[in-house]
Copies of this chain bind each other. A is one copy, B any other.
Amino acid sequence: MKLGEGVEAAIHCAATLASVEGNSTIPGAALAESFGLSPSYLLKHLNMLTSSGVLESVPGPTGGYRLARPAERITLLDIVLAVEGREPAFRCGEIRRNGPVKLDASAYVKPCGINAAMLKAERAYRAALAETKLSDIVANFAEEGDPRSIAASCAFVERHQRPQKSGSIKQI
Protein backbone atom coordinates (compact mmCIF):
# COMPACT_ATOMS: atom_id res chain seq x y z
CA MET A 1 0.00 0.00 0.00
CA LYS A 2 1.39 3.33 -0.93
CA LEU A 3 0.26 6.92 -0.98
CA GLY A 4 1.82 9.18 -3.58
CA GLU A 5 4.48 11.62 -2.43
CA GLY A 6 2.16 14.44 -3.46
CA VAL A 7 0.08 13.91 -0.31
CA GLU A 8 2.84 15.20 1.95
CA ALA A 9 3.35 18.25 -0.27
CA ALA A 10 -0.38 18.91 -0.49
CA ILE A 11 -0.91 18.84 3.28
CA HIS A 12 2.12 21.06 3.94
CA CYS A 13 0.94 23.60 1.35
CA ALA A 14 -2.61 23.64 2.68
CA ALA A 15 -1.29 24.11 6.24
CA THR A 16 0.87 27.00 5.05
CA LEU A 17 -2.07 28.61 3.24
CA ALA A 18 -4.10 28.39 6.45
CA SER A 19 -1.88 31.16 7.84
CA VAL A 20 -2.35 33.86 5.20
CA GLU A 21 -4.20 37.03 6.14
CA GLY A 22 -7.72 37.60 4.83
CA ASN A 23 -8.16 36.69 1.20
CA SER A 24 -4.46 36.81 0.33
CA THR A 25 -2.88 34.20 -1.90
CA ILE A 26 0.60 32.68 -2.17
CA PRO A 27 2.10 31.88 -5.59
CA GLY A 28 2.64 28.21 -6.38
CA ALA A 29 6.31 28.87 -7.16
CA ALA A 30 6.87 30.26 -3.66
CA LEU A 31 5.20 27.23 -2.07
CA ALA A 32 7.41 24.96 -4.18
CA GLU A 33 10.53 26.83 -3.09
CA SER A 34 9.55 26.67 0.56
CA PHE A 35 9.52 22.85 0.44
CA GLY A 36 12.34 22.39 -2.07
CA LEU A 37 9.99 20.97 -4.71
CA SER A 38 9.89 21.44 -8.47
CA PRO A 39 7.21 24.05 -9.31
CA SER A 40 5.76 21.92 -12.12
CA TYR A 41 5.50 18.91 -9.80
CA LEU A 42 3.77 20.91 -7.13
CA LEU A 43 1.49 22.72 -9.59
CA LYS A 44 -0.08 19.41 -10.54
CA HIS A 45 -1.06 18.78 -6.94
CA LEU A 46 -2.17 22.36 -6.29
CA ASN A 47 -4.44 22.08 -9.32
CA MET A 48 -5.90 18.83 -8.00
CA LEU A 49 -6.62 20.55 -4.68
CA THR A 50 -8.24 23.41 -6.58
CA SER A 51 -10.38 21.09 -8.73
CA SER A 52 -11.56 19.34 -5.58
CA GLY A 53 -12.59 22.58 -3.90
CA VAL A 54 -9.93 22.50 -1.18
CA LEU A 55 -8.02 25.47 -2.63
CA GLU A 56 -8.98 28.44 -4.75
CA SER A 57 -6.72 29.75 -7.46
CA VAL A 58 -6.50 33.42 -8.41
CA PRO A 59 -5.05 33.62 -11.94
CA GLY A 60 -2.55 36.11 -13.27
CA PRO A 61 0.92 37.32 -12.33
CA THR A 62 -0.24 38.66 -8.95
CA GLY A 63 -2.41 35.63 -8.21
CA GLY A 64 -1.76 32.40 -6.39
CA TYR A 65 -3.54 29.94 -4.13
CA ARG A 66 -5.58 30.20 -0.95
CA LEU A 67 -7.87 27.90 1.00
CA ALA A 68 -11.35 27.63 -0.48
CA ARG A 69 -12.91 27.41 2.97
CA PRO A 70 -11.76 27.78 6.57
CA ALA A 71 -9.17 25.29 7.82
CA GLU A 72 -11.74 24.08 10.36
CA ARG A 73 -13.77 22.74 7.44
CA ILE A 74 -10.95 20.98 5.59
CA THR A 75 -9.93 17.50 6.73
CA LEU A 76 -6.96 15.32 5.90
CA LEU A 77 -9.43 13.09 4.05
CA ASP A 78 -10.41 16.00 1.76
CA ILE A 79 -6.74 16.51 0.89
CA VAL A 80 -5.87 12.83 0.45
CA LEU A 81 -8.87 12.20 -1.81
CA ALA A 82 -8.11 15.36 -3.84
CA VAL A 83 -4.58 14.15 -4.59
CA GLU A 84 -5.06 10.38 -4.72
CA GLY A 85 -8.55 10.18 -6.18
CA ARG A 86 -11.70 8.82 -4.61
CA GLU A 87 -11.26 5.19 -5.66
CA PRO A 88 -10.75 2.70 -2.84
CA ALA A 89 -7.21 1.42 -2.30
CA PHE A 90 -8.45 -2.14 -2.73
CA ARG A 91 -9.81 -2.58 -6.22
CA CYS A 92 -11.69 -5.83 -6.60
CA GLY A 93 -10.89 -7.40 -9.96
CA GLU A 94 -13.59 -10.05 -9.45
CA ILE A 95 -10.97 -12.73 -10.01
CA ARG A 96 -13.41 -15.15 -8.37
CA ARG A 97 -15.12 -15.29 -11.79
CA ASN A 98 -12.00 -16.00 -13.84
CA GLY A 99 -11.36 -19.69 -13.26
CA PRO A 100 -11.95 -22.54 -15.68
CA VAL A 101 -15.38 -23.30 -14.19
CA LYS A 102 -17.71 -20.74 -15.71
CA LEU A 103 -20.78 -20.03 -13.64
CA ASP A 104 -23.74 -17.92 -14.61
CA ALA A 105 -23.47 -14.24 -13.64
CA SER A 106 -26.32 -14.81 -11.18
CA ALA A 107 -23.84 -16.74 -8.99
CA TYR A 108 -22.00 -13.48 -8.33
CA VAL A 109 -24.83 -11.15 -7.44
CA LYS A 110 -23.71 -10.90 -3.82
CA PRO A 111 -20.51 -8.88 -3.40
CA CYS A 112 -17.36 -10.87 -2.72
CA GLY A 113 -16.78 -11.12 1.05
CA ILE A 114 -13.08 -10.32 0.56
CA ASN A 115 -13.94 -7.05 -1.13
CA ALA A 116 -16.46 -6.23 1.61
CA ALA A 117 -13.88 -6.87 4.36
CA MET A 118 -11.22 -4.77 2.64
CA LEU A 119 -13.64 -1.89 2.10
CA LYS A 120 -14.70 -2.02 5.74
CA ALA A 121 -11.08 -1.50 6.79
CA GLU A 122 -10.77 1.34 4.32
CA ARG A 123 -13.80 3.04 5.84
CA ALA A 124 -11.98 2.98 9.19
CA TYR A 125 -8.95 4.63 7.54
CA ARG A 126 -11.05 7.31 5.92
CA ALA A 127 -12.97 7.97 9.12
CA ALA A 128 -9.67 8.53 10.95
CA LEU A 129 -8.46 10.92 8.23
CA ALA A 130 -11.78 12.76 8.36
CA GLU A 131 -11.38 13.27 12.12
CA THR A 132 -8.27 15.41 11.66
CA LYS A 133 -8.93 18.93 10.47
CA LEU A 134 -6.37 21.14 8.79
CA SER A 135 -6.87 23.54 11.69
CA ASP A 136 -5.74 20.75 14.07
CA ILE A 137 -2.51 20.37 12.08
CA VAL A 138 -1.90 24.12 12.23
CA ALA A 139 -2.72 24.34 15.95
CA ASN A 140 -0.46 21.39 16.70
CA PHE A 141 2.41 23.02 14.82
CA ALA A 142 1.86 26.28 16.73
CA GLU A 143 1.95 24.42 20.05
CA GLU A 144 4.52 21.73 19.41
CA GLY A 145 6.69 23.02 16.57
CA ASP A 146 10.20 24.25 17.16
CA PRO A 147 10.17 28.05 17.62
CA ARG A 148 12.72 28.43 14.80
CA SER A 149 10.50 26.49 12.39
CA ILE A 150 7.47 28.52 13.41
CA ALA A 151 9.36 31.78 12.92
CA ALA A 152 10.62 30.65 9.50
CA SER A 153 7.11 29.64 8.45
CA CYS A 154 5.62 32.95 9.60
CA ALA A 155 8.34 34.88 7.80
CA PHE A 156 7.68 32.90 4.62
CA VAL A 157 3.95 33.68 4.67
CA GLU A 158 4.60 37.32 5.52
CA ARG A 159 6.99 37.65 2.58
CA HIS A 160 4.94 35.82 -0.05
CA GLN A 161 1.28 36.47 0.68
CA ARG A 162 -0.44 38.81 -1.74
CA PRO A 163 -3.64 40.60 -0.80
CA GLN A 164 -6.41 40.13 -3.38
CA LYS A 165 -9.35 42.32 -4.31
CA SER A 166 -11.72 39.46 -4.94
CA GLY A 167 -13.38 37.93 -1.90
CA SER A 168 -12.60 34.45 -0.73
CA ILE A 169 -15.05 31.70 0.06
CA LYS A 170 -13.28 31.64 3.43
CA GLN A 171 -15.12 34.80 4.37
CA ILE A 172 -18.59 33.67 3.29
| Chain B residue contacts of A141, Cβ below 8 A | 113
Q: In the docked arrangement, what's the CA distance between A76 and B123, Å?
A: 15
* A60 contacts the other chain (CB 8 A): no
**Contact check: which of B98, B109, B137 meets A114 at CB < 8 Å?**
B137
**Contact check: which of B2, B95, B132 meets A2 at CB < 8 Å?**
B2
| Chain B residue contacts of A122, Cβ below 8 A | 125
* A172 contacts the other chain (CB 8 A): no
Given that A95-B36, A99-B34 are contacting pairs, would A137 and B117 also be in contact in the complex, using a CB cutoff of 8 Å? yes
Check B136 against A128 for contact (C-beta < 8 Å): no
Check A37 against B89 for contact (C-beta < 8 Å): no
| Chain B residue contacts of A148, Cβ below 8 A | 103-104, 107
Q: State which of A7-15, A48-56, A65-73 sits at the interface with chain B.
A: A7-15
Residues of A within 8 A of B (CB): 1-3, 5, 7-9, 11-12, 15, 33-37, 76, 80, 84, 87, 89-93, 95-101, 103-104, 106-110, 113-115, 117-118, 120-125, 127-129, 132, 136-137, 140-141, 144-146, 148-149, 152, 155-156
